């Protein structure tokens, strides 16, 4: 005799539509269209959206049947849900904006896969912490305690409940990653080239040839008269041919 489960699992359905760059997180067959998603119970909408694959740090507005809701709103089945990323030109201030306000001073922490991006951001003057052995827990803790924006290729980091500011880097090539981050976070006006050590992230200060007499290579001492020293690791910089190439790259980037 077949036994009947007294507590069958009941699945519910809701119709979702994700807009603009949020489609980057979806499988190709679900992008830029409405689709049905099944779920169990009455979960918070944030949990359901992250189960679909979208980290909460990328979301700025959720509409359920046309009404703006917060991340804790629970869904029961039958809803039509629209999810939007950051609005750059449309004023949605009367609605519930879910993405936190931008940090007053942009500071970053890059995951273990983004070492070259971290180096380039430091060259542009951005405070960027990077350690090639840090795990996800350490990244999240430092992001929260030091108010740093997480830059990552790992979506799992951005789904952590403590994370408030984060960005999933789409590009795989470091130079394209720099351009992507600048445009996505609207950082063009915050660029301060050559103000930070690319090796350790410390601030740079001017130094005279006389001050650095013993540390300078002979060719640098004879050829240049402008030097910078890292306040943290004491690395010395001067404006050689590498500096000229970097200036050309920055000019192309900013144009």
Query: For 101-105, what is the mean pLDDT?
Result: 70
User: What is the CA angle 204-172-154, rounded to 5?
Assistant: 90
**pLDDT tens for residues 38-70?**
999 999 999 999 999 999 999 989 999 999 999
Question: Does residue 226 have a pLDDT over 60?
Answer: yes
Q: What pLDDT is stored for residue 228 in this prediction?
A: 92
Coil/strand/helix, residue 154: coil
Q: Residue 183: name the closest of 255, 125, 105 by CA.
A: 255
Whole-model pTM: value is 0.78
Q: Are 19 and 90 in contact (CB under 8 A)?
A: no
As a whole number, the mean pLDDT across the chain is 89
1 pLDDT tier (thresholds 50, 70, 90) = low
Q: Is the pLDDT of residue 209 over 90?
A: no
pLDDT grade for 9, boundaries at 50, 70 and 90: confident
The residues, any chain, with a CB within 8 Å of residue 58's CB and separated by 6 or more, are 21, 22, 25, 85, 99, 158, 167, 168
């Amino acid at each position: 005799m077949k036994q009947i489960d007294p507590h069958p699992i009941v699945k519910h359905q809701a119709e979702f539509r994700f807009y603009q760059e949020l489609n980057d997180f979806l499988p190709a067959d679900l992008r830029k269209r409405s689709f049905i998603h099944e779920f169990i119970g009455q979960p918070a909408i944030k949990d359901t959206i992250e189960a679909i694959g979208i980290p909460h740090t990328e979301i700025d507005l959720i509409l359920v049947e046309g009404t703006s809701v917060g991340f804790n709103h629970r869904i029961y089945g039958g809803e039509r849900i629209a999810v939007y990323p950051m609005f750059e030109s449309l004023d949605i201030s009367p609605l519930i904006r879910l993405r936190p306000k931008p940090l007053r001073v942009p500071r970053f922490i890059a995951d273990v896969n983004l070492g070259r991006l971290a180096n380039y951001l430091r060259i542009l003057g951005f405070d960027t912490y990077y350690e090639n052995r840090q795990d996800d827990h350490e990244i999240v803790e430092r992001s929260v305690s030091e108010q740093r924006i997480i830059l990552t290729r790992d979506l799992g980091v951005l789904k952590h409940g403590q994370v408030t500011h984060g960005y999933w880097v789409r590009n795989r090539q470091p130079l394209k990653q720099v351009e992507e981050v600048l445009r996505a976070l609207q950082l063009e006006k915050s660029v301060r080239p050559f103000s930070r050590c690319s090796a350790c992230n410390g601030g740079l200060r001017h130094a005279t040839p006389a001050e650095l007499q013993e540390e300078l290579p002979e060719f640098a001492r004879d050829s240049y008269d402008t030097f910078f020293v890292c306040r943290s690791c004491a690395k010395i910089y001067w404006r050689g041919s590498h500096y000229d190439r970097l200036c050309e790259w920055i000019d192309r980037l900013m144009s």
